Structure 1
Amino acid sequence: MGGKYRVTGAAYPRMRRPRRRRRIVLALLGSILALGLLGYGTLQLIHVFKGDEKKSAARAGDCVKGKPGKPAASAAPAAAAFPKPGQITVNVYNATPRSGLAKAVGDELKKRGFKLGQVGNAPATFDKKVPGAGILLGSPRTGKAAYAVLGTQLSGAVQQTDTREGTDVDLILGTAFKELSKKEDADKALAALAGPAPAPSPKC
């Protein structure tokens, strides 16, 4: 061939690599990356669901035991922590102008199970000087439980201590005294002391 299109062998046409191969490689890399991300997300979801299942199982077990995720707490003070009325010696003294009041109250307390001690008029320190319903007077050794038990029989009585050494308790009737608490109410109060209502179970 002649002219300007003649092939002399000294120069060759420039050949370009097809772009299709590059696109295939990029597509493969993108697919691998997408599969990796999908697998990682799947593993995260599995861990999340397993964690929720463990928490649910723990809550269910706690509900069966009656306590929300904690060891069973110690129960309320046992009934033995409060003495029975028969274990409390009560001295009844009348600090009011009403005659025979100490004997009447003492007899009623005896019927209700208390151990009755001395009965009579209040000493001069308290005679006609107790404006309230009454005073529960004991030694520093007298436990609060004994006051609580005797206090169920008379609302509004105040607690005081003196220098005595025994464990007996004086009930000094004041001018505002009308009558002992009704036996039904006193019995309910005693029952509440001996066995307080249990705490409500957790909602599951």
Structure 2
Amino acid sequence: MSMLTPPGMGGKYRITGDKYPRMRPPRRRGRLAFGLLASVAALGLIGWGTLQLIDVFTGGKKATAGTKACPAKASASARPAVALPAPAKITVNVYNATPRTGLAKNTADELKKRGFKIGDVGNAPAEFDKKIKGTGMLLGPTTSLNTSLPVLATQLATAERRTDAGRKGPALDLILGNAFKSLETKPDADRALTRLTAPEPTGALKKGC
């Protein structure tokens, strides 16, 4: 009888040999799989956190090899504002080239309210009288092409612009044409003037950056 056979038992219940049944419960494979996945996730989080710390301490300025780094943000002052004269520095002569009466005076009064200095007001010279088919014409010296002329154009965006090399003095002419109805509304004119004088980026920031 084996030493493993309990007293009083024998026959077919006798335990023989050196093998004996294991009494511990079977392993739970589900817990092992869950523990393995949790370990992998923890290692991933640790690795990601390490990369974030490296990025913080290095300033995140390293670019991929062979790739040109793009600027983080275009500076609002990348290009200084265009030096344009204020309306108060611009003298405007207002001429009426239409058959309608009082048009030049009313327009001159409105321009004065908007800050422009007013010069002569009356009927257009013979060379322009009844010959302006559009809304109007802005006429000034050559030096006004990129200075005072664009500023006045914010008040009547559809007007034709011309310069005269032989013109004396800095004053501008606003000649009202047959299609003229009114100046741009003051809010629209103010927005146009703001866009005209606002700084612009240099173009260093391009698509794909």
Normalising by structure 2, we get a TM-score of: 0.61
Q: Check 1:56–1:161 CA distance in 2 against 1; reply closer, same or farther (3 A cut).
A: same
Residue number among 190, 203, 206 corresponding to 1:187 in the alignment: 190
1:164-200 CA-to-partner distances (Å, cap 9, x unmatched) read 1211100000001010001010000001111146579
The answer as to 2:110 corresponding to 1:102 is no
* Structure showing the higher helix proportion among its residues: 1
The answer as to 2:166 corresponding to 1:168 is no
Is the contact between residue 70 and residue 205 of structure 2 (CA under 8 Å) also seen in structure 1?
no
Is the contact between residue 79 and residue 200 of structure 2 (CA under 8 Å) also seen in structure 1?
no
- Runs of at least 5 residues in structure 2 that lack an aligned partner in the other structure: 1-60
Is the contact between residue 89 and residue 115 of structure 1 (CA under 8 Å) also seen in structure 2?
yes
Amino acid at match of 1:95: A
Count the aligned residue pairs. Answer: 146
The answer as to 2:155 corresponding to 1:157 is no
What's the RMSD between the two structures over aligned residues? Answer: 3.0
Matches within 5 A, 1:82-121: 82-121=84-123
Mapped partners of 2:77, 2:124: distance in 1: 43
Normalising by structure 1, we get a TM-score of: 0.62
Please name the residue that 1:138 is paired with.
140
Mapped partners of 1:101, 1:181: distance in 2: 15
Mapped partners of 1:182, 1:169: distance in 2: 21
Between the aligned residues of both structures, percent identity stands at: 54
Residue number among 55, 62, 83 corresponding to 2:63 in the alignment: 55
Mapped partners of 1:54, 1:103: distance in 2: 65
Runs of 4+ in 1 over 6 A off after TM superposition: none
1:5-27 CA-to-partner distances (Å, cap 9, x unmatched) read xxxxxxxxxxxxxxxxxxxxxxx
1:155 is displaced (CA, Å) by 2.0
1:130-169 CA-to-partner distances (Å, cap 9, x unmatched) read 1111011112232422111110100211112232121110
